[in-house]
Chains A and B, each alone.
Chain A
Amino acid sequence: SAVISQKPSRDICQRGTSLTIQCQVDSQVTMMFWYRQQPGQSLTLIATANQGSEATYESGFVIDKFPISRPNLTFSTLTVSNLSPEDSSIYLCSVQQGLYGYTFGSGTRLTVV
């Protein structure tokens, strides 16, 4: 199955700033997915990122707050903008791997102070 390298693994950010999270996959994939996992909660899909097109956002998530780039078939970034303490969560990227199901990156633990 694919190997996903996600960076940074954790960060502490000031209110009002932004954090950009990177995911690099060791093989070409059509779709990449970005999830948020709030403390004690399950995973909530933020958006689906296809190469060469705008990301598709789920209800409750907007591009101004969570801009996504997908410049090629192995890489994507998620930016969490204008940070507030409510954005403190774990953010994960994921790719679909056919029979292997969906593989996840190791996650980025964001703390906003």
Chain B
Amino acid sequence: QKEVEQNSGPLSVPEGAIASLNCTYSDRGSQSFFWYRQYSGKSPELIMSIYSNGDKEDGRFTAQLNKASQYVSLLIRDSQPSDSATYLCAVTGGSSNTGKLIFGQGTTLQVKP
């Protein structure tokens, strides 16, 4: 079982729709959760971090964390073509607590005009 799992996609949504990206993780001791956006040929860019159960909103982005289900999600409202990218879920603070950040395989999002 992979430590962090995402559906690789591609996930295709029309412009203006809500894009929903999901991630599960295996280490129940994980403490910090991140969503990164990566455009082709660029390095990952942090868009959301979440540390406690519930929702966290920042502009058009909402991160949701459910530690009991070991599940993290990212909602993108009013999706724009510029949101087309690969979204990487990343987790740290697991049982070994070494501070290392472990990534899922990423979900490719395509927003169609």
Is this pair of chains taken from one and the same complex? yes
What is the interface of chain A, defined by CB distance below 8 A to chain B?
A: 31, 33, 41-45, 48, 56, 92, 94, 96, 99-107
Q: A45, A94, A102: which has the most chain B beta carbons within 10 Å?
A: A102
Which of A102, A105, A106, A107 sits near B101, CB closer than 8 Å?
Answer: A102
A91 CA / B98 CA spacing, docked (Å): 21
Which residue of B44, B92, B100, B104 contacts A104 across the interface (Cβ within 8 Å)? B44
Asked if B82 is at the interface of the complex by the 8 Å CB criterion, the answer is no
Given A41-B105, A42-B105, A42-B106: A101 in contact with B100 (beta carbons within 8 A): no
Task: Give chain B's interface residues, CB within 8 Å of chain A.
Answer: 32, 34, 42-44, 46, 49, 88, 90, 92, 98-106
- Bound-state Cα–Cα, A41 to B104, Å: 10
Decide if A42 touches B103 in the complex (CB within 8 Å): yes
| Shortest distance from the beta carbon of A113 to any chain B beta carbon, whole Å | 20
A43 touches B46 (CB 8 A): no
Q: List 8 A-B contacts (CB under 8 A).
A: A33-B100, A42-B105, A43-B88, A43-B103, A56-B98, A94-B101, A102-B101, A107-B43
Q: Are A102 and B105 in contact (CB under 8 A)?
A: no
Q: Do most interface residues of chain A lie in helix, strand or loop, or is the interface mixed? A: strand
Cβ B43 vs Cβ A48 within 8 A: no
Contact among B101, B104, B106 with A45 in the assembled complex (CB-CB below 8 Å): B101
- Residue pair A42, B99 in contact (C-beta under 8 Å): no
Give the distance to chain B from A53, nearest Cβ to Cβ, in Å.
Answer: 13
Residues of A within 8 A of B43 (CB): 92, 104-107
Contact B46 A101 (CB under 8 A): yes
* A42-B106, A48-B100 known, 4 other contacts, Cβ within 8 Å: A33-B101, A43-B103, A101-B49, A106-B42
